[in-house]
Every structure is written in structure tokens, then in C-alpha cells.
A = this chain, B = another copy of it.
Amino acid sequence: MQCSKPRWERRKDARPQELLGAAIDLFVERGFAATRLEDVARQAGVSKGTLYLYYTNKEELFKAVVRESIVPVIGEAEVSINEFDGHSGDLLRTVMLNWWRRVGQSKVSGISKLIMAEASNFPELAKFYQEEVITRGTRMISSMLERGVARGEFRDIDVTQMTQVLIAPMMMLITWKHSAVAPCDCAELQPQAFLDAFLDMALHGLLPPKR
């Protein structure tokens, strides 16, 4: 189980990773349109031309970043939901806090923000992201709500709308985190406090009426 490849060949295999790493950094920092491929190449230590050997254009590079960074997180969450068997409120809280740790706190969250910001100027990206991320993520939240309602742990809510209600603050948190403007006089967002406040309210509001 050794790695007998010579140095430069290992490097060749590593190229896509290095490029994706540079790409995510810059996309997150500047957005899709404002990121220059020359900067991506330079940061990855290769030439502009090389970048085009691996990704046919800017959009394909971006898609690769999404596949690399976000899609796997969703897969893992789907699995953990299927395996969980406690109270649905706990499940919801766990999944959402986990998502915050894996996505919200990492630079990956910048990709989500960027998509919200720029997707309308790049329809191809919008379509891709919708299919690969949004739809699957939404279905995941909905399934937890349905589980809670079915098990009598949640009120009888409008699942479609409540799904969006639950997603919205998480996405907004991300947006604020990456956006130069935010609704707080203080210099820093306090995401954890925000999440606590939100989940507290939300789970409180989802509980079925006491008999």
C-alpha cells in the first residue's frame, strides 16, 4: 500500500485538489464574476493554461468546487437522519447545528452565499446548484418535519412552508457572515447565539399544543 509514484507525478494527481483549493478561496473572497482565473492559477502555483486543461471554463471550475465541498456534506446528513431514532426536535437541532459546524463555520458557506448572490447572472450555475444542492437539502429538512408530525412530536404544520422557514435563517446567517452588511451594530455576528435563539424559538413553536 505504498505510493511509489515519483514526485512530479504525484503532483500531477494533486493538481485538481490544488486548483479547487485556490478556487474556493477566491470565489468565496470575491464572488464568481469578480474572481479572475489568472489569480486562481497563480494561487495554485500553475499557469493559466494549465487550469484549462482540467476545467473547460470558469463555470465548470465552479461546479467542481461545489461537488467537492458541499455535495458530500448533504450525503452525510442524509445518512445520519436515516439512522437517528430519538425525538424529532432533537434530530432537527442536531442536524442543523451539525450543518452549521460543517458548512456555516467553514469557507464552504461562502459558496452558498455566492450562489444566492450571483446565480441569476449565470443561469447554468443556478440550474446546477438547484439540482445538486437546494433540492436535496430541502427534501432533507422536509423529511425531518414529516417525521416529527407523523410521530406526534410536532404540531400539524405546513411542511413546505416550515421547511423554508427553517432554512431561511441559516442561509441568512451565512449571507450576513459573508456580506459587508449585517443587522448588528456590533462588529461581529454571534452565530452561535443566533442559532440558539432561533432554534429555541423554532422548536418551541413546533411543539404540539399541550393537552
* Chain A residues packing against B (C-beta within 8 Å): 29-31, 33-34, 113, 115-121, 123, 126, 129-130, 134-135, 137-138, 141, 157-158, 160-165, 167-169, 171-173, 175-176, 178-186, 189-190, 193-194, 196-198, 200-202, 204-206
Which residues of chain B have C-beta atoms less than 8 A from A204's C-beta? 204-205
**B205, A183: Cβ atoms closer than 8 Å:** no
Contact B169 A165 (CB under 8 A): yes
User: Do B185 and A138 have beta carbons less than 8 Å apart?
Assistant: yes
Partner of A161, one of B121, B178, B197, B205: B197
Write the nearest CB–CB distance from A20 to chain B, whole angstroms. 21
9 contacts across the A-B interface (CB closer than 8 A): A30-B120, A33-B34, A116-B116, A116-B176, A117-B118, A130-B182, A134-B181, A135-B185, A172-B175
Instruction: Specify which chain B residues have a CB less than 8 angstroms from the CB of A168 in the assembled complex.
Output: 168-169, 172-173, 198
Whether A161 contacts B194 in the complex (CB less than 8 A), given A134-B183, A180-B123, comes out as yes
- For residue A161, which residues in chain B have a CB less than 8 angstroms away from its CB? 190, 193-194, 196-198
Contact of A181 among B121, B130, B181, B194 (CB under 8 A): B130
CB distance from A114 to the nearest CB of B (A): 8
Interface residue SS majority, chain A: helix
| A180: contacting residue among B29, B120, B176, B200, CB under 8 A | B120
With known contacts A134-B181, A134-B182, A205-B202, A31–B121 Cβ distance under 8 A: yes
Given A163-B183, A183-B134, A193-B158, CB of A175 within 8 Å of CB of B178:
no
CB distance from A1 to the nearest CB of B (A): 30
- A30 in contact with B121 given A175-B116, A201-B201 (CB within 8 Å): yes
